[in-house]
Amino acid sequence: MANQIAAGPEILAYVREFSLREDEVLRELRQTTAELPGGEAMQVMAEEGQFLAFLIATTGVADVLEIGTFTGYSTLWMARALPSHGKLVTCDITDRWPEIGAEYWRRAGVSERIDVRVGAAVETLEKMLADGYADRFGLVFIDADKANYPQYYELALRLVRPGGLVVVDNTLFFGRVIDPLADDADTTGVREVNARIRDDQRVDVCMLPMADGITLVRRR
pTM of the predicted protein model: 0.96
**What was the pLDDT predicted at 1?**
54
CA angle at 30 for the pair 29 and 36, rounded to the nearest 5°: 95
User: pLDDT, tens digit, for every residue of 59-109?
Assistant: 999 999 999 999 999 999 999 999 999 999 999 999 999 999 999 999 999
